[in-house]
Structure 1
C-alpha cells in the first residue's frame, strides 16, 4: 500500500508492527477497515456471532457475508484491502471462560478495541487490560443513536481504568443482577444507524492511532499527551441528544440556550465523568491500588509511588456523602 498521503501525520512503520485485538466485529467493521488503511496489518478479531440480514443496514457487512461468522467476514475485508495483513480470528465468547484462560487467547497484543454493546465483555476487557498492561479504546452508542462515547485507558501510565471512569454504570449493572438478573441493561441497537456508528468510530480510530504511536513527532503522536487525563469522550449526534433529560454536552461546553450556532455533532472530553472514581475493585485486585478515606475524600495510593498531592495518578477525589 502507498501511505505517502498520510505519513506526515501518522507513524505508519510503527503501526505496521503493532497487533490490534478487536472485541466485536459488527458495527466496528468500518473502524477495522480504516485501521487497515491507516497502516495496521496485524489483527486478532474476536466475535462469536454470525452476520444477519439486519446487520446490513447499520454495519459494514454485505449480503455475501450473511450466515458467516462476523470475525470471518472481517478477516476477508481486511485481506481485500491489504493482502499482506496477518489476521487471526476467534469465534468464542470469552466471557464464558475463566479470566486466566481468556488472557492466554489475547496475549501479545498492543491494544484492545472493545467494540461491543455487551457490558460483560467490556468489563472483561478492562480486567484483561489491567492484567496484561494493554491500553483499551471502548466504543459505545447510546440508545436511539443520538449520542455515543469513546473511552480510552492506558494502565502503563497509571491512569484510571474503565471501571474507575464508569463507576455508576458498574453499580447499575450490579444492582440489576441482584433485582432482575434476567433483564439486560445493555443498550439496544435500535435506531443506531450507520452514520451514527461511523461518527463515533472515527473518534475511536484516532484514539487507537494515538495510543499506538505515542511520542511520534506528528499529530497522532501528540494526541494522547494533549488529552492528558481526559479519557472519556462523549459525542452528540442529534439535536435530540439527551441523557436523563439533559444535554450534557451543552452543559459542559457552557453553551447558553438560544445560541443559534449550537445544534449537534459536538464532543466533550472528560477526566472524571462519575465525579469521584470511588474505590475500584478491579484496581484493588489487579493493580494493588489502595483507596483511603481522607477528610471525606477517597485517595488512591499507588504502590511504589509517592503521594503527589493533586496528581491524577495518586489522588482521586471521591467525596463521601
Structure 2
C-alpha cells in the first residue's frame, strides 16, 4: 500500500444504476449488495445480496455467497470495490456499525479504496424514485470517510481527493476537522460575543454524568462557549433511544460519551473533552473521582459544575454528596413519568442555604423506606426533554457565571438562592398526574395552560425549621461551605449522618 494517493475517479454505469434501482431501490430498507469494476474506473458490476437476512431494520449479508461472487469476479479480472445497502428514510450517511463493517472488509481484502453507496428508498418502493448517496474510504477509519453527495444517471461520477497517509494516519479527530473546516473560533462565536464572556467560560468545566437525555443541554453549552467537558456514561445508544433522545441513525451501537464527544468537537474543534465509558457505582471511590476531575477540583472548585443527568437516583445522591464534599456547584435534572413535568434541583456553596438532600427530602425518605423506581422514558415526547434541556442550560449558565463580570447571568442566582428547585409543567394535566397543586397555586389559570416554570421556596431541613430531624447531609446549617472536606466517604450518601 502506497503512502501517498493521487486523486481517483469512479463512474457508475447506467446498467449498474438500473440494476440497483430494480433491486435495492425497490424493496424495504436494509437490503444490499457488492460493487465491482473491470477497469479500475467504471463501477460496471453489481451483485444483489438476495440471500441476506433482512428485517427492515437490520441487514446481515450472506458473507459466504458474497465471498464466492468476489472470488469469481477476481478470476475474471473484476475488482471488488465497494458495498451498497439501503437505509430507512432520513438516514443517508453510513452508521457507526457501517463504518466498523467497512473496517473489517478493508482489512480482510487489503483494500486501498472503498466505495460505499447508501440508498434512500422511496416510500412508494418505486426504484426510479430511490436516491443514492456516495461515500469513499481510503482507510478503515470510521471518522475519515469522504462525502461525495448524491449520484444518479446525470451525475454518476465522484472523485477521491489526493491524500498523504503519512500525514493523516495519526491525525486526531480534532485535527481532521481543523483541516476540513478552517474556521476561526472568533467567527463561530461572532453572534454571542456580547452575551457570554468567553474568557470566563473557557476556564469552566462541565462534568456530566449521564449523557442520553442530556445531549441537547451539553451541546447548547458547547455553543455557548464552554470548552472543557468531562463526560461519564457506561451505556451505548440503542434503537429505542431514537424516539426521545437526540440520537441519529449513525449513533446506534456507539458509546454515548464517544458519540457526544464527536458532536461537541463538531461545534468547537478546540474543546477539551474527556470521556469515560463507565457508570458511577461503589467501585469508584472518592479518590477515583478526584483523579477523574483533576487538579482543578482542589484549586478552583467553583469553576466546576457537576451535572447529575443520570436516571439512577442513587447516583444523583452520590454526586450531590461529592459536590458538597468538594465545594462545587451542582445541578440535577429529572423528567417525570410520561414527560408531563420535569424538575431541576441546584446548589451553590455559600449561596444556596439548602443542600440537594434538603430540596429532595421526600425522595430520599421514599428510597430509605424501600421505594423502587420503575419510571422510564417510555411515552416521553422529545419536546419535553428539549424543554427540560433548555431550562438546564439557563440554570447551568447562572451557576457557571455567578458574579463573573457584567453579564445577564452574573446576578441571577442571588434572586433564587432560596428557591433552588425549579419545576416545569409540560402537560395541562400535570397536576392531576403528579398529585401536586404547585402550578395552580403559583400561576393563575387565566394566564396559564402548560409550559410554566415555578421556582419553589426552600429552607434547610432542621429541627429549628420545624422538621423532625436535621438533614443528614448538611445538618440544616444553611451554609454549605461548612461541608467542604468534611465528608469522609460519599458512597454512604444514602445511609449516613456525618
Equivalent position to 2:242, from 46, 56, 79 = 56
Indicate whether 1:127 and 2:313 are aligned: no
Name the residue aligned to 1:214: 402
Q: Which moved more, 1:62-71 or 1:165-174?
A: 62-71
| TM-score, scaled relative to structure 1 | 0.81
Q: Which moved more, 1:240-249 or 1:133-142?
A: 240-249
Equivalent position to 2:413, from 224, 230, 235 = 224
Equivalent position to 2:333, from 134, 139, 142 = 139
Name the residue aligned to 2:435: 245
Name the residue aligned to 2:113: none
Q: Which is greater in Rg? A: 2
Shift of 1:3: 2.2
CA displacement, residues 129-158 of structure 1 (integer Å, 9 cap, x when unaligned): 011111111111001101001111112436
- Map of 1:35-184 to 2, 5 A cutoff? 35-104=221-290, 105-107=292-294, 108=296, 110-157=304-351, 159-176=353-370, 184=372
CA 133–274 in structure 1, closer or farther in 2 if over 3 Å, else same = closer
Name the residue aligned to 1:281: 472
1-structure distance, mates of 2:257, 2:481? 41
2-structure distance, mates of 1:274, 1:225? 17
Q: What runs of 5+ residues in structure 1 fail to find an aligned partner? A: 178-183, 284-288, 292-299, 306-321
Shift of 1:42: 0.6
Shift of 1:302: 5.5
Equivalent position to 1:197, from 385, 389, 399 = 385
1-structure distance, mates of 2:478, 2:377? 39
| Mapped contact 1:61–1:73 kept (Cα < 8 A) | no
Shift of 1:94: 1.7
CA 304–162 in structure 1, closer or farther in 2 if over 3 Å, else same = closer
SS in 1 for 2:386: helix
Deviation >6 Å, runs of 4+: none
| Mapped contact 1:10–1:221 kept (Cα < 8 A) | no
Equivalent position to 1:17, from 203, 211, 219 = 203
Aligned length: 281
1-structure distance, mates of 2:378, 2:402? 36
Q: Which moved more, 1:271-280 or 1:107-116?
A: 271-280
| Mapped contact 1:141–1:147 kept (Cα < 8 A) | yes
1-structure distance, mates of 2:286, 2:235? 23
SS in 1 for 2:189: coil
CA RMSD, Structure 1 to Structure 2 (Å): 2.3
CA displacement, residues 223-274 of structure 1 (integer Å, 9 cap, x when unaligned): 1122232100001011111254334211233x25xx2x32111111012289
- Map of 1:249-268 to 2, 5 A cutoff? 249-253=439-443, 255=444, 259=446, 261-268=447-454
Q: What runs of 5+ residues in structure 2 fail to find an aligned partner? A: 1-184, 298-303, 483-498
Shift of 1:10: 2.3
CA 98–226 in structure 1, closer or farther in 2 if over 3 Å, else same = same
